[in-house]
Amino acid sequence: MGKTLDLTLRIWRQKNVATAGAFVTYDLEHIDINASFLEMLDVLNEKLTLSGDDPVAFEHDCREGICGSCGAMVNGKAHGGEKKTTLCQLHMRHFKSGDVIVIEPFRAKALPVVKDLVVNRSALDRIIESGGYISVKTGSAPEANQILVKKDLADQAMDAASCIGCSACVAACPNASAMLFTSAKVVHLGSLPQGSTEAAARVVDMVDQMKTNGFGNCSNEYLCEAACPKDIKVSTIAKMNKWYKQAMTNQRLSE
């Protein structure tokens, strides 16, 4: 048998958004150091189920760092604080036997708790719905080289498109800002010629929707960049702010 850990978990338990939550302590023994963090929670939930207790609710899907479903604060850090790592990619070898691990949901007014570690991220969906589209003709796929894209713009768009919408940036920000998320969506489409038609309206609509949803503004703490599992840079926010200012100026001039 490989090396194992004995752990004490302090997990936030909350029945629903209308019910007050509290930390509950659980002890786990003989956790394989090669298990992922979510696999460790699976072990806990199996133990709770067998004893007749309610298992801990947490989100997951691909468990490969792709979908953005999983996420929680681990010892005060989004996704556990390992660089370029989602919660499902975090492994127990980063902990020591005897550790006390505090696990709680992402905290933000715009991300209310659904149950335990699950939060409602529909506010992020509404930001995308407000402008995350382009005008194209439907039908068969166009020739790949029909619209040429400069490499630097393609790279910029691809870097921004890597955002998986996990909301770690919101949870890490002292102002619960969604600026990094919103800028990633704006810059992804706005960098490409296919997205030029709605470019001005997109940046205004998405930023305004972000404000309406109750997210805070950027205060240049850089914690969003540190927490982002896809390593999206705060320079993306600067680019979005520039485009927003240009769009608002042109809008005023045309009135």
Q: pLDDT for 140-190, tens place per residue? A: 877 777 888 999 999 999 999 999 999 999 999 999 999 999 999 999 999
Residue 253 belongs to some domain of the structure: no
Same domain, yes or no: 161 and 242: yes
Per-residue pLDDT, 136: 78
The predicted pLDDT at position 145 comes to 78
Query: Which range marks the domain in which residue 64 is found?
Result: 4-114
Task: Categorize the per-residue pLDDT at 51 as very low, low, confident or very high, splitting at 50, 70 and 90.
Answer: very high
Give residue-wise pLDDT tens across range 180-218: 999 999 999 999 998 999 999 999 999 999 999 999 999
Least confident range from 113-117, 129-133, 142-146, 157-161: namely 142-146
The 3-state secondary structure of 231-245 reads: CCCCHHHHHHHHHHH
Whether 103 and 72 have beta carbons less than 8 Å apart is answered as yes
Domain of 73: which CATH number? Answer: 3.10.20.30
- Which residue, of 63, 86, 114, is where some domain finishes? 114
Q: Is residue 47 part of a domain?
A: yes
pLDDT digits (tens, 9 = 90+) for 58-110: 999 999 999 999 999 999 999 999 999 999 999 999 999 999 999 999 999 99
Calculate mean pLDDT across residues 31-43.
97
Strands 4-13 and 100-104: parallel
Q: What is the pLDDT of residue 124?
A: 97
Question: Does 39 fall in a domain?
Answer: yes
pLDDT for the residue numbered 170: 98
pLDDT score, position 142: 75
- Domain end point (choices 88, 114, 140): 114
Statement to judge: residues 88 and 167 lie in one domain: no
Predicted pLDDT of residue 164 = 97
Does 127 share its domain with 162? yes
The reply to whether 17 and 106 lie within a common domain is: yes
pLDDT at residue number 1: 52
Q: State the sign of the Cα–Cα–Cα–Cα dihedral 223, 228, 233, 239.
A: negative
| Same domain membership, residue 52 and residue 105 | yes
pLDDT, position 92: 97
CA nearest 157: which of 119, 131, 195, 214?
195
> In this structure, what DSSP letter does residue 26 have?
E
CA dihedral 175, 181, 187, 189 (to 10 degrees): -140
Residue 129 lies in a domain: yes
- Asked if the structure places residue 179 within a domain, the reply is yes
In a shared domain, residues 151 and 234: yes
The pLDDT mean for the chain works out to: 95
Q: Say yes or no to pLDDT of 254 above 90.
A: no
Structure tokens given for 201: 């309206």
| Over residues 20-28, mean pLDDT | 97
Question: Does residue 85 sit in the same domain as residue 149?
Answer: no
Interatomic CA distance for residues 33 and 253, integer angstroms:
61
Overall domain count for the chain: 2
Looking at the structure, tell me whether residues 128 and 110 fall in a common domain: no
Q: Rounded to whole angstroms, how far apart are CA atoms 136 and 129?
A: 17
Q: Are residues 66 and 170 in the same domain?
A: no
Please indicate, yes or no, whether residues 129 and 230 belong to a single structural domain of this protein.
yes
Judge contact between 105 and 117, C-beta under 8 A: yes
User: Angle between the 235-254 and 199-212 helix axes, to the nearest 10 degrees?
Assistant: 110
Tell me, yes or no, whether 69 and 183 share the same domain. no
- The whole-number pLDDT of residue 120 equals 97
Q: What is the DSSP letter of 193?
A: G
Residue 189: closest CA among 217, 158, 210 = 158
The dihedral over CA atoms of 28, 32, 35, 41, expressed in degrees to the nearest 10, equals -10
Q: Which two tokens stand for residue 107?
A: 């905290």
The answer on 212 and 97 residing in a single domain is no
Has residue 255 been placed in a domain?
A: no
CB 62 within 8 A of CB 1: no
Asked, for residue 80, whether it belongs to a domain, the answer is yes
Last residue of a domain, one of 59, 79, 114: 114
Where residue 191 sits, what CATH number does that domain have?
A: 1.10.1060.10
